[in-house]
Every structure is written in structure tokens, then in C-alpha cells.
Amino acid sequence: MARPRYQINPQDWYDCLDWLDHQLAQPTWLAERDHPVHSIGLSTLKDCLNQWRDVDRPTLDLCQSVQDILVSSLTMEDWGRLRKSLSARKRRRRETRLAEKPINITLTPSAHQMLVEYRDLSATGTLSEAVETAIQQALVELREGRERDLERELLEFLRHFKASVLIQVVQTYLELTTTRRSLANSCKIAHQLFLKRPDRNSLRLVRDRFVEDLVWNETHLKVPYASLNLFPDDLTLNNPPAVE
């Protein structure tokens, strides 16, 4: 088995556990019967996660022990997704630190009055805290809704593609990821699997992973799929290819 490009370390300990928790909550591994995670078992991995979370200060030895367990339980695709998830978290934290410098804004009198009233009624300390409290959850819901809508739209769009056309588009995208290395490439393994065993299931996996990559790029990198020029000019979400 190829050696993963990421090494678990104490600094990323809890972020790694969060990623594993999230993966275990998804149906992907359960549906993939040949996935190496089944060698340890999903329930066993969950038990291990609970024990690892009880560790306050993970040592290098513990990190290496967990690495050894996961090397035989995760695919290279999984390692790539983990690494990109950690990179995104670090970037968001860095952006948060840079965003802590106060910024002056101009409010209309009515907006200021409503904000003051909200601060008083919600018992928040400052107007800035009132703004954060008022819109934070709304933003989370809007972002999640945008991800779901984009995923649904892309899946419906790609559903009209013949297998040969879809695979060619994915190959073009994967070639692009070799030069733009920040782009997600979780569809790479699925693409290789399809080339070895071309059937409906492997094609569906390619499509799902490809959509996952495009949504991740737009959500975390702010790179719209349209800017990658993967599809012919006459094909858009509103103008998919005709079903033959």
C-alpha cells in the first residue's frame, strides 16, 4: 500500500478525529463493501475514536499508533480528503485571525436602531456581537443550503451525460488538478476504478465524487466550476445535453 502524504500529529489531533467522526456518520463507507475500513470494522473504529477523544495531550507515539491503524483502514483517496479538510480548517482559522481587526461600517439610522434593540433584547455585549449572533446561524444555513442546491443541480446536469463524455470531462479535470494542486481530487480513485471495471456502479461513483470535488472547490476555495472551463460552451446547468 502506498504511503499516505499526511502524517497525523498532535496539532491536528482533534481535527482528524472530527473528520473521522464525520466520515463514519456518512453512508459512503458502509455502502462500499470492499473499502479497507471494514478490515477493522466501523463499530470498532467508532470505539477507538471515543477512546482517542479522552486523550488531553496526544503524544507522538500515540499519533503514530493511530497512523498505523488508519494506514490499513483508509484509501489514498480518504487520505487526500483528510488532508484537504485539514488545510481548509487551517485556512479558515487563519482568515479568522486576520479578520479580527475592527472595520468601520456605515449604518442607516433605522438599521442602527434595530441593531441596538436586538443587542438589548438578546443581552449581547456589543453591537458587533449582536451582528455576529444575529446572522451567524443564518449564514450557516445559507451556506449548507447552497452546497445542497449546487450538488443537486450538478448531479442532475451530469445525469444527462453519456459515460464516454462524463469520463472525458473528469479526465480533463484531473489533468487540471496536477497544475492547480489546491483543487480537490477525490474523484481520482473512482476514475481509476471505472477504467478497470466500467459498469454503472463505478460510473455513478465517478459522478458522485466529481460533484463532491466541484462543490468543495466552490465552497472552500471560492472556485466556481464554470471558471474551470470543463464543459463545452453550449452546455450549462440550464442547457444540459439531450438524453439519447
Residues belonging to the chain: 244
Residue pLDDT, tens place only, 224-233: 988 998 986 5
Residue pLDDT, tens place only, 28-86: 898 888 999 999 999 999 999 999 999 989 999 999 999 999 999 999 999 999 999 99
**Could you give the residue ranges of the DSSP H alpha helices within 12-126?**
13-25, 28-31, 42-53, 60-71, 76-98, 109-122
> Angle, to 10 degrees, between the axis of helix 163-177 and the axis of helix 200-216?
40
Section 184-200 average pLDDT: 92
Residue pLDDT, tens place only, 120-132: 888 888 888 888 8
Report the alpha-carbon angle 223-227-233, nearest 5: 150
Reduced to 3 states (helix: H, G, I; strand: E, B; else coil), residue 101 is: coil
C-alpha separations of 188 from 59, 106, 173, 233 in Å = 33, 48, 10, 25
C-alpha separations of 197 from 166, 200, 201, 203, 205 in Å = 16, 10, 9, 9, 12
DSSP string, 152-211: HHHHHHHHTS-HHHHHHHHHHHHHHHTTSTTS--THHHHHHHHHHS-SHHHHHHHHHHHH
φ, ψ (nearest 5 deg) of residue 236: -135, 175
User: Domain ranges in the chain?
Assistant: 10-98, 137-228
**61 bridge partner residues:** none
Query: What is the structure's pLDDT at 239?
Result: 54
Q: Quote the DSSP letter at residue 244.
A: -
* Measured distance CA(210)–CA(72) in Å, rounded: 25
Q: Which three cell numbers stand for residue 103?
A: 472595520
- Please say whether the beta carbons of 230 and 167 come within 8 A: no
